[in-house]
């Protein structure tokens, strides 16, 4: 797992980027667009979350693929290209391809939400909607907190049972988890009441400031989004699976996947650029440290400061 430099942008910029990417992904069934979104979301989620995303995506994808590509075509017989027959019922190519695209679309959306979870923490949600809907923001924040918390507590319950050398049923573990969570909720509500929650309008504190780079990034992804919307309005993203597969060829809609690919890769491009800048700075710092060490060594060896010795040699060479 790694931290993304894109996290340091203003919450409104991050929210706008994620909303635009998710909206475009869920607005088309064009194979090129779905594959583009799936590949970029997979790469970025692996960069942020590690291999756990790959394991979850594979398990989810297998389950969805079995249903959409294996079971659904047995009950839906739309399409004009039968591949084979089962009990005089046609299994068509269009149904299988549609199921495959639906699987990739679901996985792409799921992986983008993994990215959302890493880039958009609870403090950013509180910042965006806390002033307008404080109760809603509190509920969302607590819900996002409890989902991983319940998973960690269940792991602790299993570890405790293994440590005692005993096991129990799933219902018993769920009962312990529920009791633990209810007790924690009572303590949380008591602490909120003692600190004056609900008495009056709460003040807020944040460290987010809209800077020049936020404005530049906002202009960039707004321009790319405008290009994508224009291509959508020109029907470049239209795709038909039934009765036969029809969609705009890549040569006529190249601006759409190119614009969407650039939009989706903005955080990765920014991370790579930041990595290159840091590498150059570290290299310069390393060269500076090496020069200082060499100067100190020469001064200790010859008794003359290094820069004075070089200046003297230069003057003698000119003479």
Could you state, in order of their start, the residue ranges of all structural domains in the chain? 5-131+206-264, 276-318
109-113, 165-169, 183-187, 199-203: segment of lowest average pLDDT: 199-203
pLDDT of residue 235 exceeding 90 = no
- Give 288: exposed, middle or buried? Use CB within 10 Å, 0-12, 13-18, 19+: exposed
Report the alpha-carbon distance of residue 145 to residue 154 in Å, rounded. Answer: 15
- Cα dihedral: 235, 237, 241, 244 (round 10): 60
Q: What percent of the chain has pLDDT over 90?
A: 10
Give the N- to C-terminal CA distance of the chain in Å, as an integer. 61
pLDDT of residue 317: 60
Report pLDDT digits (tens) over 46-76.
Answer: 888 777 777 777 777 777 777 776 777 666 7
Cis peptide before 243 (omega within 30 of 0): yes
Q: What average pLDDT does this structure show over 158-169?
A: 78
Q: What are phi and psi of 131, to 5 degrees?
A: -75, -30
Overall average pLDDT of the 264-290 stretch: 79
Confidence band, pLDDT 50/70/90 cuts, at residue 129: confident
Q: What is the pLDDT of residue 287?
A: 62
Question: CA–CA separation, 197 vs 192, rounded Å?
Answer: 5
- pLDDT bracket for residue 23 (50, 70, 90): very high
pLDDT at 20: 92
pLDDT at 306 over 60: no
Give the HSE-up count for residue 127: Cα atoms under 13 Å, Cβ half-sphere.
17
Query: For residue 224, what are its two tokens?
Result: 């790319």
Q: Residue 21's pLDDT is what?
A: 93
Higher per-residue confidence, 83 vs 317: 83
Q: pLDDT by residue (tens digit) across 32-48?
A: 888 999 999 988 888 88
- Model confidence band, residue 223 (pLDDT cutoffs 50, 70, 90): very high
Specify the pLDDT at position 296.
65
Residue 39 burial (10 A CB sphere; 0-12, 13-18, 19+): middle
The string of pLDDT tens digits covering residues 4-17 is 788 888 889 999 99
Residue 217 structure tokens: 């990034």
């Amino acid at each position: 797992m790694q931290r993304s430099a894109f996290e340091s942008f203003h919450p409104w910029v991050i929210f706008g980027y994620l909303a635009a990417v998710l909206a475009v992904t869920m607005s088309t069934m064009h194979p090129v667009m779905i594959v583009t979104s799936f590949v970029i979301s997979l790469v970025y989620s692996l960069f942020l979350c590690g291999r756990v995303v790959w394991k979850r995506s594979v398990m989810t994808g297998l389950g969805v693929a079995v249903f959409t590509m294996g079971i659904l075509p047995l009950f839906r017989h739309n399409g004009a290209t039968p591949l084979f027959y089962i009990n005089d019922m046609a299994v068509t190519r269009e149904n299988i391809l549609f199921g495959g695209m639906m699987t990739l679309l679901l996985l792409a959306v799921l992986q983008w939400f993994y990215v959302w979870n890493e880039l958009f923490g609870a403090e950013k949600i509180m910042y965006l909607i806390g002033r307008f809907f404080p109760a809603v923001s509190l509920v969302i924040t607590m819900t996002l907190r409890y989902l991983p918390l319940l998973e960690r507590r269940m792991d602790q319950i299993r570890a405790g049972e293994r440590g005692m050398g005993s096991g129990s049923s799933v219902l018993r573990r769920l009962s312990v988890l529920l009791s633990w969570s209810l007790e924690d909720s009572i303590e949380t509500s008591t602490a909120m009441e003692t600190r004056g929650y609900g008495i009056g309008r709460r003040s807020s504190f944040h460290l987010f400031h809209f800077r020049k780079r936020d404005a530049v990034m906002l202009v960039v992804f707004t321009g790319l989004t405008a290009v994508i919307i224009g291509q959508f309005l020109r029907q470049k993203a239209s795709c038909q699976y039934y009765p036969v597969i029809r969609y705009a060829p890549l040569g006529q809609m190249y601006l759409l996947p190119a614009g969407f690919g650039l939009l989706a890769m903005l955080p990765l491009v920014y991370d790579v650029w930041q990595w290159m800048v840091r590498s150059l700075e570290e290299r310069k710092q390393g060269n500076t440290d090496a020069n200082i060490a060499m100067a100190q060594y020469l001064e200790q060896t010859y008794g003359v400061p290094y820069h004075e010795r070089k200046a003297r040699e230069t003057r003698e060479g000119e003479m």
